[in-house]
Structure 1
Amino acid sequence: MTISGHLQELNGLPVFDFPDSDAAVELPDAASVAWRVSTPTYCDPGQEQWEQAFARFLATVDTARVRALVVGGWDEAYDTSSAQIVTALIAANNRLTGLRAIFLGDMGFEDCEISWIQQSDVTPLLTAYPQLQEFGVRGGSELAFPAIHHSGLRTLVVESGGLGAGVVRGVVGSDLPSLENLELWLGTDEYGGDSTVGDLEPLLAGTGFPALRRLGLRNSVIQDEIAAAVASAPVVARLERLDLSMGVLTDEGAAALLAGQPLTHLAHLDLSHHYLSAEMSERVVDALAPHGVTVDVGDAQEPEDDGDGEIYRYVAVAE
């Protein structure tokens, strides 16, 4: 599976594509939408670059009323990092005074495959926007996230086909006292996802993120190990939603999850895109649904046999 479309919503607002310079489009109220500023990832000579489109956006829209901003594609995103976009956004912080949400890298596979997107150190954005409540980034290549303090951030989403251990350690080592929702797509080592359960230990121990209520450790090739660790993780006791979807979860991981601490306090458990047997899927639902837990065991996958005894299982989003 790949990411085929673009974001439709950010921070509770519908996404609106900022139009091309020659488009006759009536613009909505600046505060009523999440503005998506995007340019082609394969620009022809003379085409508007992302920084030019952003400058035009700043000159056109009532920037003080902008609440959410989506950065789409930029020229040669598969070869050129997001560093210049980060710099441009930081330079505009005195104008985007009402900004509460940023998503960086909203590209589908036709724009740029997720593991080809070249990112950069994105934490200066959080420093530049202390009022930010939601931040998301897509693409793990060259992504950096050193540990940071931010008092207002409530939602942090990092989507990747392979998330480096340094990024994981930086995220879980950050001081984010207001963080309620954390979602990490850990991916596969074939695309740089070299993190281990040990890298998640400060998060699982529950010693940080006191406001955390929704946790997603998704799209992982080590989903069984994560499930086993989560089964005894202190952080789970205060969660409302737990998301272990999009990975290669098997009966082994699900059995460890059921054998661990009670999960009956959860409102929702997402295990979709899994490699569970029908019997194990039924066991999970039967154990939790009577307690009011909504359990998603949809999108069951079948392992692939190469004919030589090798069995392959795949995360939902890799390349």
Structure 2
Amino acid sequence: MINSHVSSFAGLPVLPFTPGMTLPEDPSAVAWRLEVEDFDAEPEELADLVRAMRDEVPPGAVRAVVVGEWGQSYERPLPVDLIVDAAPRWTALRAIFLADLVSEQCEISWLTHGDITPLLAAYPALETLWVRGGQGLRLDAVRHTGLRELRFESGGLPGAVVRAVGDSDLPALRRLDLWLGRTEYGCDTTVDDIKPVLAGTTLPALRRLALANAEIADLVAAAVATAPVVRQLEVLDLSMGTLTDEGLEALLAGQPLTHLKELDLHHHYLTEQARQRVETALPGVRVDGSDPQTPGEFSGRRYRFTAVGE
């Protein structure tokens, strides 16, 4: 569950744009937030807001944009065309966060998207792209030489999006976060879908990889154990998922991980013995084994849940 909006993005404090507002002394020193107040707002309201910002904020001062509520976000795709159409003016834009909504506004698995590929085509110098929500989300494989950070936050990430990321040529990408989620919330991602990412062939600069919030965490850990991309990583994040002792054993039985600076496993289903084992096996690596979970039971069956679902 996500309970708060980002207060900073891309190293800049977030400032909501309001038509007619007094601009800050340095309008390039903020990340501009675009959001309509009514979750049932008509499409024209966000379009009018973007138009006003294009008119009132110096175009060279738009370095980062955070899009919040756009109106009926539970069924209407976020209109990325509004951001795409601004590309000829917003030439300094380097960071975009799509759908910074909290659970009270719209559950993460209900957030509706369309094809975000045109956004990457319109902004070849874009460095950071975050996307929250996975319903209807589409992405084609691209070559993008500017992107350094790509983050998908989802309760259920479509396998087609994961495959598109793996098939993309992203030579400058240093950080990739994939929140895989659960089948009941739209995740159909398999380990085979992740394999192109794990190969690392098109991600030569990658230093931080998160395959997080995964219902299939044990299978992911086993695949990571022999993945070529691991050798170049500084941070490996398998947190927020359903990792058990079986998955951890598979991970530790694979290639050495002692070169890592950090291994993030928080929110897991590991025993205390397993947590101690990983810390002993990786001296000098910051291991986050916090937030242990206990499986639930229903009708004699045990259930394990990811940190973020609905």
Per the shorter chain, which TM-score range? over 0.9
Q: Alignment partner for residue 313 of structure 1, among 296, 304, 307?
A: 304
Partner of residue 55, structure 2: 59
Query: Structure 1 residue 25: deviation in Å?
Result: 5.4
Task: Give the corresponding residue for 1:6.
Answer: 5
Structure 1 CA distance, aligned partners of 2:156 and 2:37? 24
The superposition leaves residues 199-244 of structure 1 with CA deviations (integer Å, 9 ceiling, x where unpaired) of 1111112222111111000101000000011011111000000000
Q: Which residue of 1 aligns with 2:153?
A: 159
Match of 1:30 in 2: 27
Secondary structure of the equivalent of 2:144?
coil
For 2:274 and 2:25, locate their aligned partners in 1 and report how far apart those are by CA, in whole Å: 49
Count residues with an aligned counterpart: 310
Letter in 1 for 2:16: D
2:10–2:95: 8 Å Cα contact kept in structure 1? yes
* Residue 133 of structure 1: aligned partner: 127
Separation in structure 1 between the aligned mates of residue 226 and residue 186 of structure 2, nearest angstrom: 27
* Within-5 A mapping of 1:1-319: 2-19=1-18, 21=19, 27-43=24-40, 49-82=45-78, 85-288=79-282, 290=283, 292-306=284-298, 308-319=299-310
CA contact (8 A) 1:275 1:301 kept: yes
- 2:28 aligned counterpart, secondary structure: coil
Alignment gaps of 5+ in structure 1: none
8 A Cα contact 2:74 2:106, kept in partner: yes
Per-residue Cα deviation, 1:73-117 (whole angstroms, up to 9, x for no partner)? 1110001111xx211111111110100000111100011111101
* Distance across 1 between alignment mates of 2:106 and 2:25: 28
Alpha-carbon shift at residue 40 of structure 1 (Å): 2.9
Percent identity of equivalent pairs = 51
Partner Cα distance (2:152, 2:27) in 1 = 26
Whether the 8 Å contact between 1:155 and 1:182 is mirrored in structure 2 is yes
- Separation in 2, partners of 1:197, 1:77: 30
**CA shift at 1:48, angstroms?**
7.5
1:261-318 C-alpha deviation (Å, 9 max, x unpaired): 1100000110001011111111111211x2x211101111111012x21101101111
Distance 1:34 1:252 in 2: 43
Task: Indicate if the aligned counterparts of 1:185 and 1:217 stay in contact, CA closer than 8 A.
Answer: yes
- For 2:261 and 2:15, how far apart are their aligned partners in 1? 32
AA aligned opposite 1:311: R
Deviation per residue, 1:110-131 (Å, 9 max, x gap): 1111110110100100100001
**How far off is 1:257 after superposition?**
1.0
| 2:290 maps to amino acid | G
Question: What's the Cα RMSD here?
Answer: 1.5
**Counterpart AA for 1:79:** E
Shift of 1:41: 4.8
CA distance in 2 between counterparts of 1:28 and 1:89 reads: 24
For the residue of structure 1 that corresponds to 2:69, the secondary structure is coil
Q: Which letter does structure 2 place at the counterpart of 1:39? A: V
SS in 2 for 1:49: helix
Q: CA deviation at 1:42?
A: 2.1
**Partners of 2:39 and 2:173 in 1: CA distance:** 36
CA contact (8 A) 1:30 1:63 kept: no
Unaligned runs of 5+ in 2: none
What's the offset of the Cα at 1:43? 3.6
Note the C-alpha offset of 1:59.
Answer: 1.7
State the TM-score, normalized to the length of structure 1: 0.94
